[in-house]
Structure 1
Amino acid sequence: MEMFAITAVKHLKRRPSAPNFLPTISASRLYPPHIHTTFNMRPVRSAARSSLRASVNTGSTPFLRTRPIAAPCLLCAHRISPSQPSRRHQSSFTPEKFSPQDRTERQTHYHFFPNTLPSGPPPHGRFAIDTTALKHEFLRLQSRAHPDLHPSEDKLKAQALSARINEAYKTLQSPLLRAQYLLTLRGIEVAEDETAKVEDPELLMEVLDARERIEEAQSEEDLEEMKAENDVRIEESVKILEAAFERDDVGEAKHEAVKLRYWINIKDSLDQWEKGKPIVLQH
């Protein structure tokens, strides 16, 4: 029996038991000297040892850490919101989910120009746009996304991105194209819809009268007054569109977008006028 006890003691010295396997954490490392002399540190050491043992056994530290996200690369297809925390260790059983609505919002033309259009499209943002600021931001974007500035393996992505930026800028700088685009986001097609015409006899009479005056003009001077009148119509339509989008009145916005399309067509016909050339006003 005595030999058995000696053997057991030697065995325990060679293989320390589980509670003593981890190094002991001294109280001085957890609290300053003036504190640990006052309190009983045995419960603290026990809790710290249990916490460390659990970390060693699981092999993970499920802590949620937040850090600022760097500005996304222009060639990256997805953006990460700076307000969302990132997980250092994330379980494969809990994949991060993205809302389809958020993904759609990231793909609008407005998100290419966060400095000029920080609030996004109406009704959160305004319909009116500072086109000068928009142009400056567009040039800065294109200077970074130009295909020649990227390695060969990224040129196709850069070309696609550059094309999207061009399309977004072209659309947003024009009040008519902007209005049509915003209606498209709401599921309403106006640009290509031939049935989207104004059932307004007074408006149609104005359009027919403008066509006759343009065809009968003998010189550009004959059209100066008409140009001024049409510019006023365009300004009024843009103001009505801005108010309609801010109210989120999609019906009124659609009605006025169709009217604005008539006024823009008249403007194009006036700018392209040639004596004797027939006038075709597209609806």
Structure 2
Amino acid sequence: MRAALSTLSRNSATLALRRPLHASTPLPNHTITPTTARTISTTVPRREAPNVTARDTLLPQTHYDFFPSLGSDALPPKGPFTLDLSLLRKEFLQLQAKAHPDLAPQEKKRQAEALSARINEAYKTLQNPLLRAQYLLEMRGVDVAGDETAKVEDPELLMEVLETREVIEEAASEEELQPLRELNERRIAASVGVLEDAFQKDDTAAAKEEAVKLRYWINIRETVDAFEPGKPVVMIH
């Protein structure tokens, strides 16, 4: 298994860090589905596309509008795709403290509960690079989260995912998965870098393609985090 992991690591590093950015092509359906397995999914509920130009209204219209520290030009391509997550969390906690329903008078509790829920959703989305990318693509009319046909047409990547699943299934302990965990975090970082460049250029096709790839890497992270020896693994993308 160590030899297989070593080969996987070399192939994965080359794939994640050196593959050039190119426009997306229609992605065929590809499913990895053992019959009995735990299911881990990384998707968000489908929502109506928010109004990108609504900063002049009194109530926040996009997730970015809730966080004044992001600035008036926070949305890509004017703003960066990557965010200061520590600052975002600090401001989130301040917002929730002010908007807590227990602090509202009885006649305004429902409004306060709705606002608190919206703040939670905004923070959950923006602090996660995959959910953030999917949200920004929704704003451009591309539903990656709800599109079950959005798969990567790349035999090398798909083989890598299959080999990764085998490594996880054969592991006897969490310690054996540490090299895979570190490798996968490098994959995620590489994908975030590609998304940064794609959104800066407002290249929706490239951003969609990389968001689909990132969904594989995030799914692997969640599968490793939920690892239990002897349990079969299925990765839903």
TM bucket, shorter chain: 0.7 to 0.9
Cα distance in 2 for residues equivalent to 1:203 and 1:120: 33
Deviation at 1:120, TM superposition (A): 2.2
Q: Is the 1:116–1:130 Cα contact (8 Å) retained in structure 2?
A: no
- The 1:161/1:119 distance shift into structure 2, 3 A limit, reads same
Q: Is the 2:191–2:210 Cα contact (8 Å) retained in structure 1?
A: yes
Q: Does 1:102 align with 2:56?
A: no
The secondary structure found in structure 2 opposite 1:280 is: strand
Cα distance in 2 for residues equivalent to 1:282 and 1:117: 36
**Counterpart for residue 278 of structure 1:** 232
Deviation at 1:150, TM superposition (A): 1.2
The number of equivalent residue pairs is 184
- The one-letter amino acid paired with 2:195 is L
| Higher Cα radius of gyration | 1
The secondary structure found in structure 1 opposite 2:152 is: coil
Q: Does 1:227 align with 2:181?
A: yes
**Counterpart for residue 142 of structure 2:** 188
Cα distance in 1 for residues equivalent to 2:71 and 2:168: 38
Task: Give 1:1-283 correspondences, 5 Å limit.
Answer: 102-103=53-54, 106-283=60-237
TM-score (norm 2): 0.75
Cα distance in 2 for residues equivalent to 1:101 and 1:278: 43
Cα distance in 2 for residues equivalent to 1:110 and 1:245: 15
- The 1:178/1:101 distance shift into structure 2, 3 A limit, reads closer
TM-score (norm 1): 0.63
- The one-letter amino acid paired with 1:254 is K
Higher relative contact order by CA 8 Å / sep ≥ 6: 1 or 2? 2
List alignment gaps of at least 5 residues for structure 2. Answer: 1-50
- The 1:175/1:117 distance shift into structure 2, 3 A limit, reads farther
Query: Which deviations, in whole Å up to 9, do the C-alpha atoms of 1:153-199 show, x marking residues without a partner?
Result: 11111100000000000000000000000001111111121111111
Cα distance in 2 for residues equivalent to 1:220 and 1:101: 43
- The one-letter amino acid paired with 2:53 is D
- The one-letter amino acid paired with 2:150 is A
Q: Is the 2:52–2:139 Cα contact (8 Å) retained in structure 1?
A: no
The range that moved more, 163-172 or 137-146, is 137-146
Cα distance in 2 for residues equivalent to 1:162 and 1:147: 7
Identity of aligned residues (%): 60
Cα distance in 2 for residues equivalent to 1:238 and 1:117: 21
The secondary structure found in structure 2 opposite 1:115 is: helix
- The one-letter amino acid paired with 1:103 is A
Would you identify which runs of 4 or more consecutive aligned residues in structure 1 move more than 6 Å?
none
Query: Which deviations, in whole Å up to 9, do the C-alpha atoms of 1:56-93 show, x marking residues without a partner?
Result: xxxxxxxxxxxxxxxxxxxxxxxxxxxxxxxxxxxxxx
Deviation at 1:118, TM superposition (A): 3.8
Cα distance in 1 for residues equivalent to 2:210 and 2:142: 13
Deviation at 1:247, TM superposition (A): 0.6
